[in-house]
Amino acid sequence: MAKKRSGGGLTGTQQAAKFLGVSVLSGAVLAGIALPAAGALGLAAKGTVEGFDEIPSNLKTPPLSQRTTILDSQGGLIATVYSRDRQVVPLEKISPYMQKAIVAIEDGRFYEHGAIDLKGVLRAINRNAQSGGVAQGASTLTQQYVKNVFVEEAGDDPEKVAQATQQTIGRKVRELKFAIQVEEELGKKKILENYLNITFFGQQAYGIEAASQRYFSKPAAKLDLGEAAMMAGLVQSPSRYDPINDIQEATKRRNVVLQRMADVKDISQAEADKAKAAPLKLKVKTPKNGCITAVDGSGFFCDYVRKTILNDPVFGKTAEERQKLWNLGGLTIKTTLDPRAQAAANEAAIAKVNKDDPVAASVVQVQPGTGKIVSMGQSRPYGLDQKQHQTTLNLAVGSKMGGTTYGFQVGSTFKPITAAAALEKGLSPAQVFDTPTQINIPETDYTRCDGSPAGYGNWEVNNEIKSEKGAYDMTSALGKSINTYFAKLEQMAGLCETLTMAKHVGYERELGKPVKQSPSITLGSIESTPLDMASVYATFANRGMYCTPVVIESIKAANGDKLNVPQSKCSRAMSQHTADVINQMLKGVVEDGTGTKAGLSDRDNAGKTGTTNDRKDAWFVGYTPNLSTAVWVGDDVGEKKSMYDITIGGEYYGKVCGGCLPGPIWKIAMTGALDASETPGFNTVPVPRAEKPKDPEKGDEGPNKPRKPGDAKPGGTDPTNPFPGITIPPEMLGGGGDGRPGRGNR
């Protein structure tokens, strides 16, 4: 009698000898019997045996594709995603009934033979010879496992799957040799465990754990006798015996398995009869896969996580490596999403804009100092059903990350960047320009970063409201969003310096392309994204330190290993003092400027409105010391429409402006996200202001009154030099000229 290893099965050498001993029958053996034509089998046999030793002996067992779990920052479930729904479990977490049932119906002599069951082979040969076809196979459980490994390696590639399952002598020989190796290296229990974890059980469920949850809403460890028998019966034909589609056929197959278990003495006949008499009681759990199932409208955030893994080199040097990591799954991804902030962002996005409106709203929030993206909300729901106004286009980001190709013009939300560039150059917040409604500035007055002029024509700029003219300092110009002031301020600060500041605060990051070096950038004519704008303003909140946005806190692989994840990179974009001054000036926007409808009453907050040409885009971007939020409203499909005489969210707007629609949306998002949170304040610094011009007709003494020593006091009481300590040439305090028609940028 052949000597056996503990756990059953012959040694690898003995199995090989047995295999070679029956090689003369290989034409029939190898097919189990896959091909009925004896002539074909005979012709194939010689080549098969001669080539046996040339087959690689190392079976690369691939890690099994599993579901990936995406969690928020508190550990709550956002979504489960997978290419194959599978959760690998050890044998001790699989019901003993299930273990016995699968062996009984698929390979009753599993513990008695090695990789090849010679008795089964001879029985199959005899049966198939009598039937004249393929009536019975002879594959062992080990051989089936090896075949499933080949299928798993093929993934979703149809050609590779066909090669892995083709009924040929060559494939069968390869399968047999690997089966011998697997028996030698793994042993029976591990083979059974692997088999139950790799096998397809129908209804998108791979492996016994996912299947048990799908059909009975319970873990595999708790399957009873009848349930286990039904599951074991599925393996032969998951579609034919699918209990969801045909309960009678599934019941018949279950009873066949139960009887087989009784025949091999795994259970008594009485147990089998009792289980047969019981009806199948399914408790089906609908599979939830992908970002479409994400909670609290976080589908766009979920998809951004996916895009991060597919695009960031941290997860693989090549796109193929990163795709393989994602498809393999089994990851537990803890993200930066704050559930309270996400709920608030989602509520805000749909509070003022309906999903079927002609325009859409996007809300994105970033944590200053860390770059963590804490929410992404959108008025159109995430999904593929256009009839339900669903979309997978993430309006907060650029095309590489699943969003817009061109981004959106940002309007006057760019102006604080120009102000920061001017302050960094040494200009004072008290800088006064005479700002008529319209001005005309030679483009040669603006120099690109290569030293060339921005153009050779005239740049015509106008203010939105004709009455907005006269002398303004930087604070009042920001508060009222005076276009002509910022055209002159950029002229003095420098176009290149303004562009450099924009780059330092991440203005161009998401779209991945250099911004056009045009003077009109100060009025927001160059596109960006809501995520980038939220990050820009987070730089002000963080006292001048820009941090790249991140969405993943940690990732744990299926084996428990921690993977490297992208880290936020923080760099100084401007001095702390410059940021502090910007914060104080932008507080005025929400207190008594264009953003009063957005202002928060319970904490320090600041922000800026923005509206582009013909009101095709409307913005409000604002922040507190601990949260930055960007809100965009506009046309997200086709040619962008102007937002005049339009009904949005059931409310009529004669003309949409940054403060009247995005502003209130911003307030809802910030209020909900910051509810019960700390209320840190901005670092308070004095912001020099220009003295208001005197009106002699009212008895005021004008600026031509003879000055006395000490008249030039801090705070800008000297109208000819409102910023003591800095000498300003007289020609820089004036300004003027003609201009061209309006460019609404409030």
pLDDT digits (tens, 9 = 90+) for 122-151: 665 556 555 554 444 458 899 888 888 888
pLDDT digits (tens, 9 = 90+) for 532-544: 999 999 999 999 9
Q: What is the mean pLDDT of residues 377-392?
A: 93
Phi first, then psi: what are they for 644, rounded to 5°? -110, 145
Q: What is the mean pLDDT of residues 457-472?
A: 91
Q: Give the pLDDT confidence score for residue 588 in this predicted structure.
A: 87
Q: What is the mean pLDDT of residues 502-511?
A: 90
Is the pLDDT reported for residue 713 higher than 70? no
Confidence band of 22 (pLDDT split at 50, 70, 90): very low
Enter the tokens of residue 735. 């300004």
Lowest mean pLDDT: which of 18-32, 387-401, 493-507, 633-647? 18-32
C-beta separation of 152 from 88 below 8 A? no
Is the pLDDT reported for residue 421 higher than 50? yes
Is the pLDDT reported for residue 599 higher than 80? yes
- Maximum Cα–Cα distance across the chain: 124
- Cα dihedral 655, 657, 661, 664 in deg (nearest 10): -140
Is the pLDDT reported for residue 3 higher than 90? no
- Cα dihedral 428, 431, 437, 440 in deg (nearest 10): -80
- What CA–CA distances, in Å, run from 152 to 61, 142, 198, 476? 9, 15, 8, 66
In total, the chain counts a number of residues equal to 746
Q: Give the pLDDT confidence score for residue 127 in this predicted structure.
A: 60
From the list 422, 425, 430, 423, the residue with the least C-alpha distance to 713 is 430
Q: What is the mean pLDDT of residues 213-230?
A: 97
Give residues with Cβ within 8 angstroms of 149, minimum separation 6.
Answer: 59, 61, 62, 178, 198
Q: Give the pLDDT confidence score for residue 593 in this predicted structure.
A: 83
Give residues with Cβ within 8 angstroms of 622, minimum separation 6.
Answer: 537, 586, 590, 595, 598, 605, 606, 607, 608, 628, 629, 666, 670
Pick 269 or 31 by higher pLDDT.
Answer: 269
Q: Give the pLDDT confidence score for residue 263 in this predicted structure.
A: 96
Q: What is the mean pLDDT of residues 388-402?
A: 94
Confidence band of 508 (pLDDT split at 50, 70, 90): confident
Is the pLDDT reported for residue 328 higher than 70? yes
pLDDT digits (tens, 9 = 90+) for 180-195: 888 888 889 999 999 9
Q: Give the pLDDT confidence score for residue 159 in this predicted structure.
A: 76
Q: Give the pLDDT confidence score for residue 707 in this predicted structure.
A: 38
Please give the full DSSP string across 472-515, using - where no structure is assigned: E-HHHHHHHT-HHHHHHHHHHH-HHHHHHHHHHTTTTTTTTSPP
Q: Give the pLDDT confidence score for residue 51 in this predicted structure.
A: 47
Pick 461 or 135 by higher pLDDT.
Answer: 461
Q: Give the pLDDT confidence score for residue 184 in this predicted structure.
A: 83
Q: What is the mean pLDDT of residues 390-413?
A: 94
Pick 472 or 676 by higher pLDDT.
Answer: 472
Neighbours of 721 (CB within 10 A): 18
Q: Give the pLDDT confidence score for residue 62 in this predicted structure.
A: 67
Q: pLDDT > 90: what percent of the chain?
A: 65
DSSP 583: H
Is the pLDDT reported for residue 155 higher than 80? no
Q: Give the pLDDT confidence score for residue 64 in this predicted structure.
A: 87
3-state DSSP assignment of residue 25: helix
Phi first, then psi: what are they for 434, rounded to 5°? -80, 120
Confidence band of 13 (pLDDT split at 50, 70, 90): very low
Is the pLDDT reported for residue 29 higher than 60? no
From the list 188, 215, 192, 32, the residue with the least C-alpha distance to 125 is 32
Rounded distance between C-alpha atoms, residue 646 and residue 637, angstroms:
16
Enter the tokens of residue 718. 């000297």
Lowest mean pLDDT: which of 166-175, 560-569, 603-612, 614-623? 166-175
Q: Give the pLDDT confidence score for residue 299 in this predicted structure.
A: 96
Pick 246 or 593 by higher pLDDT.
Answer: 246
CA 618 to chain centre: 25
Rounded distance between C-alpha atoms, residue 353 and residue 634, angstroms:
10
Confidence band of 492 (pLDDT split at 50, 70, 90): very high
pLDDT digits (tens, 9 = 90+) for 332-354: 999 999 999 999 999 999 999 99
C-beta separation of 169 from 32 below 8 A? no
Confidence band of 526 (pLDDT split at 50, 70, 90): very high
From the list 303, 307, 275, the residue with the least C-alpha distance to 290 is 303
Q: Which pTM was predicted?
A: 0.80
Mean pLDDT (the chain) is 84
Q: Give the pLDDT confidence score for residue 523 in this predicted structure.
A: 96
Q: pLDDT > 70: what percent of the chain?
A: 81
pLDDT digits (tens, 9 = 90+) for 629-676: 999 999 998 778 899 999 999 999 999 999 999 999 999 999 999 997
